């Protein structure tokens, strides 16, 4: 279980600012699968401070991937994955948005305590 607060920043007149502060509550689960594979799930709700400007929403994010190691598991590890992202505003007649995001997580340091991730979200 967890939570998040997103505060609108940017410039609303050019479309880079949000309309309302959002509180996000979620549940997350991860499972190691055979052969260095993994599954991650996250589901929750976005609860805006001003629901008259931004509707409440439900979301679900799922990622499945596999980790590849060098030096018999003692070297760097790369984890390509595919993420499926679904969200829906909680208003009558809303459509469910479904996106795919192929991504890869890579270590930026030899000790692997600093990681980077890059991906591309496809609507």
For the stretch 12-53, pLDDT in tens is: 777 777 788 999 999 999 999 999 999 999 999 999 999 998
How many domains is the chain partitioned into structurally? Answer: 1
Question: Strand ranges (DSSP E) for the chain?
Answer: 2-6, 22-33, 37-48, 57-66, 68-69, 77-89, 96-107, 115-119
Tokens encoding 71: 């030096």
pLDDT tens-place string over residues 54-112? 899 999 999 999 999 887 767 788 999 999 999 999 999 999 999 999 999 998 887 77
13 domain residue, yes or no: no
Give residue 89's domain range.
Answer: 25-119
- Residue 15 maps to a domain: no
Distance CA 55, CA 74 (A): 47
Classify residue 4: in a domain, yes or no.
no
Nearest-angstrom CA–CA distance, 88 and 20: 17
Question: Does residue 3 lie in a domain region?
Answer: no
């Amino acid at each position: 279980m967890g939570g998040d607060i997103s505060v609108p920043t940017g410039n609303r007149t050019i479309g880079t600012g949000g309309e309302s502060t959002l509180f996000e509550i979620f549940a997350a689960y991860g499972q190691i699968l055979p052969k260095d594979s993994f599954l991650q799930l996250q589901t929750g709700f976005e609860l805006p401070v001003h629901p008259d400007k931004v509707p409440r929403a439900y979301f679900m994010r799922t990622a499945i991937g596999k980790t590849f190691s060098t030096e018999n598991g003692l070297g760097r590890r790369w984890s390509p994955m595919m993420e499926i992202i679904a969200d829906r505003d909680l208003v009558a007649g809303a459509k469910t948005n479904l996106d795919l995001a192929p991504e890869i997580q890579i270590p930026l340091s030899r000790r692997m305590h600093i990681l980077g991730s890059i991906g591309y979200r496809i609507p």
